Structure 1
Amino acid sequence: MDTTTYPLGESLAETVWDSVIVGGGAAGLSAGIVLARAQFATLVVDGGAPRNGPADHMHGYLTRDGMAPKEFLATGQDEFTGYGGTLARATVTDVRRAEDGVFELRLDYRRLLRSRSLLVATGLTDDLPDVPGLSAGWASLVHHCPHCHGYEERGRTIAVIGSAMAPHSAHLAALMRRHSPSVTFCVNGVEVGAAERRRLTAYGVRLVDAGVTRVAAVDGDGAPVVIEVDDGGTVTCDAIFVGTRPVPHDAIMTTLGAAKDPVSGLVPVDAAGATAVEGVWAAGNVVNPRAQVVAAAGAGCTAGIAMTSWLLDRELAAAVSDNGGAS
């Protein structure tokens, strides 16, 4: 599906789906397969811009280590549709619960969907520090996850740029020292206490206290990356790691009344992915920014199983009601 929008046929649009899953990444497709295998009418709506889309490979997924994200998604889509699931390339622009309790979702090409249950697997956006030139190397020379990309950068000269994720920045610098004998932590305004500074220095991390003003030579042709700092100096490296600020795509949940946790800023879910809104689940990075692909897939599978139970309970109750309550 390589178009911006893949319209549903009129008959499918008029369907009251058992479940609509918004987001077709690891979490969404895993849940979709569970629901489709259980014979529930399931639609996955996806805008086609996965978080790991710019990456060439993914790691930490048993039996799928090093697989290209695009190949992973294409395989997952084939599996989902093979079980009777339906895919739509679209973006949800509005959502509400109708008077009959069914969820109504408006798509970007004005089609209206109706569904008994929802799974939100819309992921997040990685917000980089506002440093000129940094975003140009995103996913090639600039990384955020040491567990996804650290091993591949082992033995190279690495710089860590401090960010709004202050505690994580120092941890990231220490963790990258596991992969390289040459790690520079460009503090960039992050407050690093004396004890933490001693720990990092003793572990072999070099600290540069100046602020970062620009990243240059991020051209992907093997040339060194030059980080310019505000005291006039430079730091040269082969790769950059930086703690990004996660911005979850949670508007569907908040529009339906789910509140964010005041500390984490995330919509809370229970162990099965259920939100505080009846009939709405969430899985993957939208509620767990640290989840790698394998964890997102597991959360989607868990949510899908919970959704099958929820839908089945309602069908059983409806069967009793239709039968006049006879035992």
Structure 2
Amino acid sequence: MDYEAYYRKSDRDGFTAYYQSIAEASPADPQATARTRDAEGTIPGEARDKLFNVAAEIKNTFHELGSPLPPLLEGCTVVDLCCGSGRDTYLAAQLVGPNGKVIGVEPNAERLAVAEKYLDKEIKQFSYDASNVELRQGVPEDLSFIPSASADVVISNCTFNLSPDKGAYLREVKRILKPEGEFYFTDVFTDRRIPQAVSDDAKAVATRLGGALFVEDFRRIAQQNGFYDPRYVMTWKTPLTDEEQALFPGIAFATITSRLINSELTCDHCEDYGEEVVYDGSLPDYPDFFLFDKDIKFPANQSCHVCDNVSVLGLGGSRYAKVITVSGNRDVHYGDIHGDHVIKTAPDFSGVVDEDDQPIQVSCC
């Protein structure tokens, strides 16, 4: 199956028009589309007090509530895709500091105009001598105005599923990320494919539901485009109105914050090289543990045996190497991190046959 084609709604020439149609179909109340919740901890503690520095109009016209902002952004170059009125852009601008940079990219001119309106005021509010924010009208599927390997982090707040070409979107994200850079974003996913007739409806997509991917298709598309080990950091059920539930009968939705590392040191399976990591406990929001994904926490100052896809956080040019130390190397390969049960449970071969003295055939499921 061509997974990218299933979700594709437009080609390169029609991306801008497609996003405009979604904006026009959006509810009058921006928060009607919000799928992330502050109460779920999606705004990190270090960013919460910085909300007071962001103009009220920016916050009131922003289409989400939570913020996918990973730790250790100081001095980084961050790209905020489909930044809307710029709330997350201006939060990130405070987290990267005066020596960092944030590029906000927004397809819709009206929403971008709100962010632009307050640019000078926001920079003064942050007490910066010069602006560290660049605002551009454009689409995530064509970021040709951003140099390759120039971004440390790319963020997106419930807008990936608006994309008319998810494959092109991810290819551009990977292109602009530095080696060991991170795509950290929040979006809605499903437990099955949404019928194309429904996902073709701009109104359904504008609710942040119609364009949602079957979570396994997302994994496949991510891996096809070089993000070999997508991780889900936080997950929670997505609230639906009765009207929305009727439009998507039987489909379960979850809002997920995902972490995709742009590293050639990762692979599509967790393999064991005997590596250990130690998190030093220095992140203000994580004094007791580092949250790698929804299933893995590194207790502070404890050595943890990890797979090759996890150890990359402390290797190479990763900014996480400031707080995570890796011991061991990749000279010796120990196989599957969990043990390969297909191999280890295989019986001794002595001519395994069925009752008709024929080789055993295995059926599906």
Q: TM-score, normalised by structure 1?
A: 0.27
Q: TM-score, normalised by structure 2?
A: 0.25
